[in-house]
Each structure stands twice: as C-alpha cells, then as structure tokens.
Amino acid sequence: MRVLFTTWAWPSHLYPMVPFAWALQAAGHEVRVATTAGLVDAVNRAGLTAVDIGPDPDLPGMATRDGLASWHSQKRWPRDWWSDPRRLNCEQVELLRALGGKQIRMAEAMADGLVDLARRWRPDLIIHDAVTFAGAVAGAVTGAPTVATMWGSTAVPRNERELGTDQPLPEYHALFEPFGVEPRWDPVFWLDPCPPSLRVPGPHRRVSYRYVPYNGPGSMPAWVLDPVTRPRVCLTWGVTSGRIGAGAAAALPETLTALAKLGVEVLLAVTPGQLDALGKLPKEVVAAGPIPLHQVLPTCAAVVHQGGGGTTMTAAVCGTPQVILSPRPEQMMTGDRLEDVGAGLHLAQNDFAEGLGEAIGEAVARILDDPRFREQAMALRAEMLAQPSPADLVPELCAVADSQGHTGDAVRHERQRR
C-alpha cells in the first residue's frame, strides 16, 4: 500500500504523524511525506522520505493580512467555548473565522504541488494533518480515501466551517473548483491521541490511539539516570512558541526566580535562542536544552509549559502533573480541560499585567503539596496506555484503503502469502 502523509510546514503538526509513518513502513508499506520546503529537513531527520511540493507560505504575512495579530494576546475565553460558541463575543468569532481563512490560504499554496504529486504517485491512502486542507483536495482529485491526524488538541478543529454550523466557508469550497471536483467535507475518521476524558465532546468519528512521544531527534544525557535528590520541575516553552517570537518567552526570567524559591531543581528545556536571552541563571536551574521530553518528564514532579499539544500529551503519557500557561484560545481550552480532570492547573498568560512569575510559583507549590494532582496525572497516563498503539491501527488503515477500492500491492501480496 502507498501512503501519502501531508502537513503544512510546522513541526508540531508533523511530529504526531511520525509514529504512524514508522509503523506503516515497518509493516512493509511505502510511505512519503509531502510538505513545503521549510519542513523537509525535519521529515528526513525523522527517518522518513520527504517530498518538497513547493515554497513555504508566508505565515507571518498571512497572520497580519488575515487579522490574526491579536490571536497570541487574547485574555481568557469563556470556558468550553468550543461546545457553545454563542458565548463568544464578536471579536472572538471574527478571530476564529480569520484563523480558518489563513488555513485555507495555506491549502491554496500547497494544493497544486500536492495534487500533482498525488496524481503521479497514486497513493492508496492520504493521511493529512487536520488543518491541512490540501490533503482533502488531493483525496477528492485522485479518489484516495483520507484520514486526518490530530496533534493533541482537545477538540476537532473545523475551522473550514462557519462557527457552530455544518456550513463550509465559501473559501473552502473554492479550494476544489480549479480541479473540477466536488468538495470533500470529512475524512473517514480523525486519528486522535487526546485521551477521551480530556476531549471536548463532538459528533466526529475520532479513533483513539496511544500517544507515542516524538519531538525531534535528540540524545539522552547521562544525568537523567541519576537519582533525583529533590523535586524536579521542568520548564519548557515547546516547539511552537519557540518559533512565534521573543514575546512568548517574556515571562521566563520571573518564572525561574519564583521556582528557585521553592527549593526545587528547575530543569530548563528551551531553545538555544531562548536560553541566550536569559543571561545568568539561578544556581537551582539546570539548562538542559531542547532534549526529548519523554526522557526527563518521568523524573519530574511537575512541568510548566504553554499548553501545546505535543508537550501536553507527552506530560500526560508520562503521568506528570502540569501547569499550563496558555497564550492562545486553543491552549486555554486544553488548560481548562486538564484542570477539570485534576491533573494540573491552568493560568491564562495574558490575564496577568504583572505578577505572572509569582502565580506560576504558587501553582507549582500547590501541585507539590497535594498528592491528588499526581494521582490524577497517573490516572490520565493509564487511560492513554490503554489505547491501541499506532502499529495496532495499521490493519484499520489498510481496511480504509481496501474498502474504497484502493488496496495497494503490499496489502495484496500480504493476503496472497496468507
């Protein structure tokens, strides 16, 4: 079977795909990952075959042009707004529509190259990131079934639709018109690593799987195996916020100061650029750099981060209590859901004009003092470990291709052998 993965050029949307690509390759299937130029190296570094389908879209320019400049400076939105969008004000509704417009423009930039590749390579199955709508276009043009991958979001994003309805945005419909095909509204299902207890309910077919951590290649430092002599707290700003700009890391210095006062070891897992901006560090801080988080989080009493999908899922599958410092609406929703199940605490970053570092210190102190946070984090871990692995779902992915007449050579040969 030939499987074509595709995502826009953002690492946090690639990384959840990697374990599925590995599993399919190990089962003998042909795998390619189509993306734009900026992500090709990350694909290759994961041991996968990348196909460059064109230059990167101008993401910063799109954000400015589409009215998304305030997306990263929002104060706390209403709790569970995704389930009841009537609670949003006009500005918030317009921001979500602008986000959908940006994602559609990204699809416009990718569609020609991706469709050309799909026509020539003829995949039996297309697996696309949930907001990489060009994957749906390629599926509609070639007839290949499509499956969408989630990245740890608590809700299925339907940014191509009018908020709170099943009606697609006109711009989404227009994506398909140059190719003379009817729009494809839904994938066969969404592959979802978010544990069911964290999810925002919805009508979508979400196939659960066990989250397998991957945040890029890296080495395990030997000190990870040393005994921990005092509580260790990991502070990380994740992949996405590290690319957004200096504003995302503005709270780092005061946060380090607050954590150092707790008598804990602070493990600082940030990018080299973020580390350079901090200058001299308190003696309680260990600068670990951008290490694979799943190697160190099992040794940590808590982790402080911005609520990105990869970091949230990695901490959850490690059973580590979390303090989420959310800068954007999606991360606010994640923080609220995590707080609801008792596995962590949530602070909305932009609600604080001052005193943010102190608030983070107080939240970490609460987690260290109350064993119920660890108990609930371990319960969340058990829930995740009970889900099927990506390798377990390979037969189901083969069945999707088979049911729609796209059984590839690898599947046919396997059946003949049996």
The string of pLDDT tens digits covering residues 223-242 is 889 999 999 999 997 655 55
Contact (CB, 8 A) for 287 and 252: no
Does residue 25 lie within any of the structural domains? yes
* DSSP-derived secondary structure letter, 30: E
Does residue 104 lie within any of the structural domains? yes
Give residue 202's pLDDT band: very low, low, confident or very high (50, 70, 90).
confident
Q: Which of 225-229, 278-282, 317-321, 393-397 has the lowest mean pLDDT?
A: 278-282
Number of domains in the chain: 2
Does residue 284 lie within any of the structural domains? yes
What's the domain range around 16?
2-210+387-417
Mean pLDDT over 241-261 rounds to 69
d(C-alpha 332, C-alpha 177), whole Å = 36
404 and 368 within one domain? no
Contact (CB, 8 A) for 172 and 102: no
**Is 11 or 83 the better-scoring residue by pLDDT?**
11
Q: Kindly report each contact of residues 351-360 with a partner whose C-beta sits within 8 Å and lies 24 or more positions away, as own/partner.
A: 351/75, 351/76, 356/251, 356/254, 356/255, 356/325, 357/251, 357/253, 357/254, 357/255, 357/256, 357/257, 357/258, 358/254, 358/258, 360/251, 360/255, 360/258, 360/259, 360/304, 360/323, 360/325
- Whole-model pTM: value is 0.92
Mean pLDDT over 193-208 rounds to 93
pLDDT at 249 over 70: no
Which pLDDT score, from 0 to 100, does residue 308 have? 92
Which pLDDT score, from 0 to 100, does residue 205 have? 94
Does residue 46 lie within any of the structural domains? yes
pLDDT at 201 over 60: yes
145 and 41 within one domain? yes
pLDDT at 243 over 70: no
Mean pLDDT over 41-59 rounds to 95
pLDDT at 165 over 90: no
Mean pLDDT over 196-210 rounds to 93
Which pLDDT score, from 0 to 100, does residue 65 have? 65
Q: How many angstroms separate the most distant Cα atoms in the chain?
A: 67
d(C-alpha 122, C-alpha 321), whole Å = 45
326 and 255 within one domain? yes
272 and 394 within one domain? no
Does residue 215 lie within any of the structural domains? no
pLDDT at 264 over 60: yes
The CATH number linked to 301 is: 3.40.50.2000
Neighbours of 218 (CB within 10 A): 13
pLDDT at 67 over 90: no
Which pLDDT score, from 0 to 100, does residue 63 have? 64
394 and 346 within one domain? no
184 and 233 within one domain? no
Q: pLDDT tens-digit profile of 325-358? A: 998 999 999 999 999 999 999 999 888 878 888 9
393 and 381 within one domain? no
- Average pLDDT, whole number, for the chain? 90
Which pLDDT score, from 0 to 100, does residue 195 have? 97
Which pLDDT score, from 0 to 100, does residue 197 have? 97
Give residue 167's pLDDT band: very low, low, confident or very high (50, 70, 90).
confident
Mean pLDDT over 20-31 rounds to 98
301 and 181 within one domain? no
Give residue 64's pLDDT band: very low, low, confident or very high (50, 70, 90).
low
- End-to-end, the C-alpha distance of the chain in Å comes to 17
23 and 149 within one domain? yes
Using only C-alpha atoms, the chain has a radius of gyration, in whole angstroms, of 21
Q: pLDDT tens-digit profile of 368-415? A: 999 999 999 999 999 999 999 999 999 999 999 998 766 544 444 434
Which pLDDT score, from 0 to 100, does residue 353 have? 79
171 and 30 within one domain? yes
Does residue 216 lie within any of the structural domains? no
Percent of the chain with pLDDT over 70: 92
404 and 322 within one domain? no
178 and 38 within one domain? yes
Does residue 306 lie within any of the structural domains? yes
Does residue 28 lie within any of the structural domains? yes
**Is 286 or 119 the better-scoring residue by pLDDT?**
119
Q: pLDDT tens-digit profile of 359-376? A: 999 999 999 999 999 999
